[in-house]
């Protein structure tokens, strides 16, 4: 209880010269958040009976506030080394962009562009048109549409091609993928009728031939 009494109030910490300096370069709500976070950590330390008086000096608290503020202002995304052995790793950002596109990104991403503007007609265009022609050339498809995850692609494909019709899926593929997308739920929403075949570990062509 004596250590708890040594933890200063938020208003007192905000009046310190060091914190006043921080307020000159950072938004007040952000500085207040850093101060509150630090004081909450100190309270938790005391309640766990792990603290000592050295934690509650003005200098020690000020150092914590500075570190906390740096942490709040730091980017959430960090560059990592992929040591998993999986080249296209969903949890690590999938495929890294090649160095060859860096200059293009610098030219386009940091200014205005014709993302949804048709330069030929001078009218509003479609953001999908920029990649549709390339995908059609690569795949031989008549048309193409880009979405940001596999679940969306499966939903669109099933809705377009299999609504009201049976779709055969091996039981081993009835999985849940990132974002809690379950294959049976995606199929149900598309209007397709799920027809399970095989076992969870193995499916044979002769099994599907009996349907």
Tokens of 59: 């200098």
Residue 209 has pLDDT above 60, yes or no: no
Residue 81 CB contacts under 8 Å (≥ 6 apart), including other chains:
none
Check residue 123 and give its pLDDT. Answer: 93
Check residue 137 and give its pLDDT. Answer: 92
Residues paired with residue 194 on neighbouring β-strands, in sequence order: 167
Of the residues 73, 91, 115, the one at which a domain ends:
73
pLDDT digits (tens, 9 = 90+) for 101-136: 888 888 898 899 999 999 999 999 988 888 888 999
Tokens of 23: 């307020």
Q: Which of 91-105, 158-172, 196-210 has the lowest mean pLDDT?
A: 196-210
Residue 38, domain extent:
2-73
Higher pLDDT, 66 or 176: 66
Query: Which three-class secondary structure state does DSSP give residue 62?
Result: helix
End-to-end CA separation in angstroms for the chain: 73
* pLDDT-based confidence at residue 84 (cuts at 50, 70, 90): very high
Of the residues 38, 58, 73, the one at which a domain ends:
73
Check residue 199 and give its pLDDT. Answer: 85
Residue 178 has pLDDT above 70, yes or no: no
Check residue 48 and give its pLDDT. Answer: 83
- Asked whether residue 118 is assigned to any structural domain, the reply reads no
- Asked whether residue 153 is assigned to any structural domain, the reply reads yes
State the DSSP H helix or E strand holding residue 194, giving kind and residue range, or none if neither: strand 193-197
pLDDT digits (tens, 9 = 90+) for 51-64: 677 788 889 999 99
Of the residues 48, 73, 98, the one at which a domain ends:
73
Does residue 35 contact residue 7 with C-beta atoms inside 8 Å? Answer: no
- Asked whether residue 102 is assigned to any structural domain, the reply reads no
Q: Which of 7-21, 79-93, 171-185 has the lowest mean pLDDT?
A: 171-185
- Asked whether residue 137 is assigned to any structural domain, the reply reads no
| Number of domain units in the chain | 2
Check residue 208 and give its pLDDT. Answer: 58
Residue 50 has pLDDT above 80, yes or no: no
Tokens of 62: 């000020």
């Amino acid at each position: 209880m004596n250590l708890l009494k040594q933890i200063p109030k938020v208003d007192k910490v905000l009046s310190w010269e060091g914190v006043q300096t921080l307020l000159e370069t950072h938004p007040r709500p952000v500085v207040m958040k850093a101060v509150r976070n630090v004081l909450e950590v100190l309270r938790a330390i005391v309640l766990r009976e792990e603290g000592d008086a050295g934690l509650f000096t003005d200098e020690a608290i000020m150092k914590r506030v500075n570190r906390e503020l740096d942490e709040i202002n730091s980017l959430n995304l960090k560059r990592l080394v992929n040591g998993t052995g999986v080249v296209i790793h969903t949890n690590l950002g999938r495929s890294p962009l090649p160095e060859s596109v860096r200059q293009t990104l610098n030219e386009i991403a940091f200014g205005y562009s014709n993302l949804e503007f048709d330069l030929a007609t001078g009218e509003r265009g479609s953001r999908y048109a920029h990649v549709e022609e390339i995908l059609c050339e690569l795949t031989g498809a008549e048309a193409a549409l880009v979405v940001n995850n596999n679940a969306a692609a499966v939903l669109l494909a099933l809705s377009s091609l299999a609504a009201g019709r049976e779709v055969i899926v091996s039981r081993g593929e009835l999985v849940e993928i990132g974002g809690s997308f379950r294959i049976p739920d995606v199929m149900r929403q598309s209007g397709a009728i799920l027809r399970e075949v095989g076992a969870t570990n193995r499916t044979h062509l002769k099994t599907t031939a009996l349907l």
